[in-house]
Structure 1
Amino acid sequence: MAESMPVRCPACLREHLYAAPSYPCACGTPVSPSLDERAPATAVTHRVWDEEWVTVRCSACGRGDQWPHPELGCPCGTVLRIPVTRAAQDAPEDRPRPTDTPPPPSGTAKLPGVLRAPRPHPSARPRRAFQPVTIRTARDAVTAAALYLRWLGYQDIRRADQRPPSGVGLAARGVLAQVDPTVSPASLRDIECLWLTAMTESSNCVYFSLAGYDSDARARADTLGIPLFVLDLTGTPQPVNSPADDLDATGV
């Protein structure tokens, strides 16, 4: 059973009970990051790819693999980085990073999208659990979004005919999606360009971002009814606004 510990949000002081996620070792044994109960959780205010991974060693075979650093989204909007023990933090220098995404400029703040606790939906119906893919590269982020769209009920997912200003476009019958695997939050222009393109194709649209959204981008998406998701490094899209909550709950 994965270990758990109380975690206090430094922004709102709300306390959560956090359980460490388990990952499958190559030998088949489930492994979990070792949490550090003596250190406080910290707010994630910018993303550095090298800090997004920890090495977890299997107690059965001794193999050390890298997995996403534990994080938790507080309902107040703060993304919390859960402390792990020093052994887990000492990852080798060949950490994976996106294949086609440059690191952010030094000292540039990157605000993540606001993760919110999912709310129940009256139209929700039982569905099989979504099976994510761990995001280690930009290509993995696109794959995760495509799998999620298929899980929602969209079929025949393909690359969009029109390339978006940033990221990768995906299309299926009735929907146009944009996947932004960079370390910069999606901008107002990104949201408006996606909406305008979808309007010309008489399609709905949805946005997936690895680094979240600027505040004005989030506000415009709420006005236009565009579902926004943040891709965590486990490959699971997290809804960050009400249209995304509804789509996640009901599918298509």
Structure 2
Amino acid sequence: MEPVHVRCPLCLRDHAFVIPVYSCPCGAPTALRAVRGAPATTVTQRVWADFWVTARCDVCGREDQWPQPELGCPCGTVLRVPVRTEPPARPGTEPEPDPGTAPGPATADGPPAHIPLPRTAPRPRPPFQPLPIRTARDAVTVAGLYLGWLGFHGVAQPIERPVSRIDLRAEGALAQVETSTCPTGVRDIECLWLNALSESVSGIFFSLAGYEDAATRRADLVSMPLFAMDLTGTPQPVNAAAEKLLSAGA
């Protein structure tokens, strides 16, 4: 890929940035394309729902979500590189018809009308794209991305971790991320459950070291989803509530 020239709007440094190339399930490389001439934007507050960008494979036409390209400037600014979400049109080709429409009968005044067809099933989620976990901050980042992937909107991390130990908030959910080397105990499960109950939302727990048996039993009693994470950055469901959330989404 040809490097993209990105200028930091704060310190005016110029950077040569190569946008990552991802692999579509069809096997073709899918590269996000920068918007030439568009300035990079600074990331001042992280909203994990904005971390993803939808792009279509120009080989099979499949649409998937990929991480929004970002660049860290030495001045400390995080820059978001604007990208196009549509592949360039190839000569002699026309856009594929919307699968939700079908051609209707021709009319005397123009081309055939289009009659929308009912959608029989929601579009499945694309595979979750894990990020390696090297620090506690990475673990919170992965949990935030995972919540957004599950379908929770407005996922955000508080500027400072409050006394309640809530690490992430979203529409309809509170999440705690335990990064210690000790398995999560009953007290942590109960604290998150009480905080979520007071706000009439769901509590979701992520842990790097797993859970004590008593903690898992208590989570089952209150139907709290438990996820375990490893250093590869792929959360795994631990109990039935987590399995149900993974299957149905938010």
What TM-score results when the alignment is normalised by the length of structure 1?
Answer: 0.49
- Higher Cα Rg, which structure: 2
